[in-house]
Chain A
Amino acid sequence: AQSVTQLDSHVSVSEGTPVLLRCNYSSSYSPSLFWYVQHPNKGLQLLLKYTSAATLVKGINGFEAEFKKSETSFHLTKPSAHMSDAAEYFCVVSRNNNDMRFGAGTRLTVKP
């Protein structure tokens, strides 16, 4: 079985400060890991993905995530938050094409 746990349901940062959204995963196999973002009343959009290549993955809009097998973590970071980053973020683990498991989501608020 595989699952993901997003450790924070809500994160609030000030504009221009770093963002850290935490995700731990559980998987019996070498997983594929993803971060998706959902803006209000919109569908989800892929931020970045890890599929067993480089452990540091760069995504769109300045986000990146590091795969740490020893810690079973895949935390999402961004050096400097922008107001447009305010959204819901989902960590996802996948073993095959019909077994994607979504975390419960982390709502990111960015204060001016």
Chain B
Amino acid sequence: NAGVTQTPKFRILKIGQSMTLQCTQDMNHNYMYWYRQDPGMGLKLIYYSVGAGITDKGEVPNGYNVSRSTTEDFPLRLELAAPSQTSVYFCASSYHGSNTGELFFGEGSRLTVL
């Protein structure tokens, strides 16, 4: 059972570079989410999607973009990386949505911007 798979697990970027964090789930969940986790702080929602073709901003969307062309995949794009984007990024999915259902998380992608 793969669940939620994120790649890469680790990445170092230079300021101004761009990259895409990949996320795929095999549970046929409609809801998918991207969070970032900073030391000593809880997770903050970047973007979310309620189904293929539908995305919306979360609490901290600036500097990021997403797309949802299929139910399975929800990539997160970082344009013009900045040191403030150094963080651990988690992708999650849910069948019923985060309000009542369980979120299933990937193992995270640790990004450092130098």
Residues of A with Cβ closer than 8 Å to B?
A: 4, 9, 32, 36, 41-46, 49, 51, 90, 92, 94-105
**Beta-carbon contact of B99 and A32 below 8 Å:** yes
List 22 A–B pairs whose Cβ atoms lie within 8 Å, in order of A's numbering: A9-B40, A32-B100, A36-B103, A41-B108, A42-B107, A43-B108, A44-B90, A45-B105, A46-B102, A46-B103, A49-B100, A49-B102, A90-B43, A96-B99, A97-B31, A98-B98, A99-B99, A101-B42, A102-B43, A103-B42, A105-B40, A105-B42
What is the CA–CA distance of A90 and B40 in the complex, to the nearest angstrom? 11
The tally of residues in B whose CB lies under 8 Å from a CB in A reads 26
B residues near A102, Cβ cutoff 8 Å: 42-44
In the assembled complex, the CB of B26 is this many whole angstroms from the nearest CB of chain A, namely 15
B residues near A44, Cβ cutoff 8 Å: 43, 90, 92, 103, 105
Residues of B with Cβ closer than 8 Å to A?
A: 4, 31, 40-45, 48, 50, 56, 58, 90, 92, 94, 97-100, 102-108
In the assembled complex, the CB of A90 is this many whole angstroms from the nearest CB of chain B, namely 6
What is the CA–CA distance of A98 and B45 in the complex, to the nearest angstrom? 8
In the assembled complex, the CB of B91 is this many whole angstroms from the nearest CB of chain A, namely 9
**Beta-carbon contact of A90 and B98 below 8 Å:** no
**Beta-carbon contact of B43 and A104 below 8 Å:** no
Cross-interface CB contact of A95 among B31, B99, B102, B105, cutoff 8 Å:
B99
Residue of B nearest to A92 (CB): B42
Q: A43-B105, A94-B98, A95-B99 are in contact. List 19 more A-B contacts (CB 8 A).
A: A9-B40, A32-B99, A42-B108, A43-B92, A43-B106, A44-B90, A44-B103, A96-B97, A96-B99, A97-B48, A97-B97, A97-B98, A98-B56, A98-B58, A98-B98, A100-B98, A100-B103, A104-B41, A105-B41
